[in-house]
Amino acid sequence: MTQGPSAEPGVIDLLGLLAYAELGSFFRLADDAGLAPSLRTKGELAGLAATEQSHYQAIHDRLVELGVDPEEAMAPFIAPLDAWHERTEPQSWLESLVKTYVGDGIAGDFYRKVAELADAETRALVEDVLAETGRAEFVAGQVRAALEEDPKLAGRLSLWARRLVGEALSQAQSVAVDRPELAGLLSRGSERDKSGSGLGDLAAVSRMFASLTEGHTARLAAMGLAD
Amino acid sequence: MTQGPSAEPGVIDLLGLLAYAELGSFFRLADDAGLAPSLRTKGELAGLAATEQSHYQAIHDRLVELGVDPEEAMAPFIAPLDAWHERTEPQSWLESLVKTYVGDGIAGDFYRKVAELADAETRALVEDVLAETGRAEFVAGQVRAALEEDPKLAGRLSLWARRLVGEALSQAQSVAVDRPELAGLLSRGSERDKSGSGLGDLAAVSRMFASLTEGHTARLAAMGLAD
């Protein structure tokens, strides 16, 4: 196994996390088919899921190019991500859409972190993923349209969005304990200071949490929801 | 709604059938994730499913271009295809693979029929789909490898393949009764003789069945199974 010069463990962790997150979202979206209100939305849902699969494939192939076993890189994140999905199973089509939007938003934050830290080729891949804004707009638009039709939904969906992030933070807590290098990397901001590796202290974890929730309020507003 | 010159009802039926078949296979494959023996195969399964989605999308968009509502075109085939999936739910990863291969094979026969009968643009789309042989080889290879490791599986999987086709014929029977134009079209061979429209007689239906099972034995042999 040969690793590229910039394939530091924290970046590989981030790519493994994102790969399994995309694969998990793929299966979760497909599983939500029963919630789709029509054959048309069922088809759209399949399209959203296929986008997750293409992101998974791109990260998977990049990990192989970096000389990393993709399954090994994903392994540490299976339990926390599966737990997140189990604890936040959507009960309606709108909850499924809000989950897609919130999950994509958090993933976007992680992708941006990879773009800051990784080698040029990995950065190009990440920028391709981040450039796909049409999907997020489609999802936010669907939620906004539903809220315009029935404004009473806003309270319940805002609570749902809060639960999604709360459960994500709770899983992130256990990841931070298990993967101090990753927590250190995420808490460091954009400077490439490797002295932070091994940081597992509470300050680093809370900086990681701040980074995780950053942008969440803006994303809720884009869907017409309150924080 | 304007229809292209070659968008005869039988061809639209075929495209609607194939579109819903691809969408159904997408969700079925994703649903089989629990059967995948490893994270690696789970990822491969997501890739197989995403291919079905891309075929679905291509036919969907072609139907729109032909001035046809894709959901309307799919509607007559929802019940029989859903029933087929319900009656042939794979209980193992190998059963899931054999189902993918048999289902793809039958779909291939229908795609070839579309290629004979449809306009040039639709034919180009269909030929793109049919050119993707890598997937079928991958699936057949996986089944052959499993049989080499455990030859005792052959009997059970051959029975399974027979059940898959038997249940498909049983659903085709009800489609033939409901859609005599489609049955006529499928029984006509390659001549573009439109006088067959409306044929709902037993001879046409059995010719359609012969066409459906054509190639099935060869496909079984490709997987190392007996008819």
Q: Which residues form the domain of B185?
A: 9-223
- Give the model's confidence band at B2: pLDDT under 50 very low, under 70 low, under 90 confident, else very high: very low
Contact B53 A56 (CB under 8 A): no
Interchain contact, B26 vs A38, CB within 8 Å: no
Q: Sort out which chain A residues have CB atoms less than 8 A from B46's CB and list them.
A: 23, 26-27, 53, 56
Q: State the Cα–Cα distance between residues A155 and A4, nearest whole angstrom.
A: 48
For chain A, say whether B78 makes contact (Cβ under 8 Å).
Answer: yes
The CB density around residue A211, as the number of other CB atoms within 10 Å, is: 18
A101 to chain B nearest CA, in Å? 20
Whole-number percent of chain B with pLDDT over 70:
84
* Residues B88-114: b if buried by 16+ CB within 10 A, e if exposed: bebebbbbbbbbbbbbbbbbbbbbbbb
Task: Report the C-alpha gap between A60 and A65 in whole angstroms.
Answer: 9
pLDDT at B71: 97
| Residue B198: pLDDT over 90 | no
The residue of A23, A39, A55, A71 whose CB has the most chain B CBs within 10 angstroms, and thus the best one to mutate to test that interface, is: A39
φ/ψ of A89, rounded to 5, equals: -80, 120
pLDDT of residue A194: 45
Cα of B210 to nearest chain A Cα, Å: 31
Give A41 to chain B, closest Cα distance, Å: 10
Q: How far, in Å, are B57, B156, B185 from residue B12 at the CA level?
A: 15, 37, 11
Query: Does the structure's ipTM exceed the value 0.85?
Result: no
A34 is written with which tokens? 């029963």
A77 in any annotated domain = yes
CATH code at B27?
1.20.1260.10
What is the C-alpha to C-alpha distance for residues A171 and B64, in angstroms, rounded to an integer?
44
CB–CB contact A42 B23 (8 Å): yes
Q: Note the pLDDT of residue B202.
A: 61
Write out pLDDT tens, residues B76-129.
999 999 999 999 999 999 999 999 999 988 888 888 888 888 889 999 999 888
Q: Which residues of B36-50 are buried (b: 16+ CB within 10 A; e: fewer)?
A: beebebbbebbbbbb
Greater model confidence, B174 or B20: B20
Number of residues assigned to chain A = 227
Of A38, A39, A49, the CB nearest to B30: A49
Whether pLDDT at B197 is above 50? no
**pLDDT on residue A204:** 63
Neighbours of B120 (CB within 10 A): 9
How close B155 comes to chain A (CA, Å)? 32
Encode chain A (227 residues) as per-residue pLDDT tens digits.
Answer: 444 445 677 889 999 999 999 999 999 999 988 888 899 999 998 999 999 999 999 999 999 999 999 999 999 999 999 999 999 999 999 999 999 999 988 888 888 888 888 889 999 999 888 887 677 888 888 899 999 999 999 999 999 999 998 898 888 888 888 887 787 777 765 444 444 444 445 666 676 667 667 677 778 888 888 76
Closest-CA distance of chain A to residue B220, Å: 29
Residue A1 lies in a domain: no
Would the CA dihedral through B218, B33, A95, A141 be positive or negative? negative
Question: pLDDT-derived band of residue B50, with 50, 70 and 90 as boundaries?
Answer: very high
pLDDT-based confidence at B191, cuts 50/70/90?
Answer: very low
Q: Does B53 touch chain A (CB under 8 A)?
A: yes
Q: Are B53 and A47 a contacting pair at CB < 8 A? A: yes
- Inside any domain, residue B1: no
Task: Name the residue facing B23 among A38, A46, A56 (closest C-beta).
Answer: A46
Q: Is the residue at B63 inside a domain?
A: yes
Number of domains in chain B: 1
Residue A190 is predicted with a pLDDT of 43
Q: Do A43 and B23 touch (CB under 8 A)?
A: yes
Position B83 in a domain: yes
pLDDT-derived band of residue B193, with 50, 70 and 90 as boundaries? very low
**Does some domain include residue A100?**
yes
Which residues of chain B neighbour A38 with C-beta distances below 8 Å? 71
Between A186 and B158, the more confident residue is B158
A154 touches chain B (CB under 8 A): no
For residue B49, pLDDT beyond 60: yes
What rounded mean pLDDT belongs to chain B? 84
A40 touches chain B (CB under 8 A): yes
pLDDT above 90 (res B175): no
Best mutation target, A18, A22, A23, A26, to test chain B (most B CBs within 10 A): A26
Q: Between B165 and A60, whose confidence is greater?
A: A60
A33 at interface of B, judged by CB pairs closer than 8 A: yes
CB A184 within 8 A of CB A200: yes
Q: Is residue A4 part of a domain?
A: no
In a domain, A117, yes or no: yes
Question: How many residues belong to chain B?
Answer: 227
Q: What is the DSSP string of B126-161?
A: HHHHHH--HHHHHHHHHHHHHHHH-TTHHHHHHHHH
- Using alpha carbons, list the distances in angstroms from residue A8 to A1, A5, A20, A21, A43: 14, 8, 19, 20, 40
